[in-house]
Amino acid sequence: MLGEAGHTPEADALLTAFVRVRTAEESARLARRDPRWFAPRLLRAAEALSGAHHRDLLHALRVANLPVG
């Protein structure tokens, strides 16, 4: 994984692109792989894009019963 290999900025850039082109539900499914690692990064990426992206992802993570904070 990029983050584990010391490429966290690259991983964050990819997650931002993912959040931009995928639905909030798809982002939540990705977060299930490792919620503690993915959820905060995906939320930061969504927030950087727009308030609506952030709100939608936050809701999708909650519906999926994943940690959001």
pLDDT tens string 4-49: 656 788 989 999 999 999 999 999 999 999 999 999 999 999 999 9
53: left (phi over 0), alpha (psi -120 to 50) or beta: alpha
| E strands in the chain | none
pTM of the model: 0.88
Among candidate residues 52, 49, 50, 36, the one with its CA nearest the CA of residue 3: 36
21: tokens are: 């082109």
Among candidate residues 16, 41, 14, the one with its CA nearest the CA of residue 66: 41
Among candidate residues 68, 33, 11, 1, the one with its CA nearest the CA of residue 19: 11
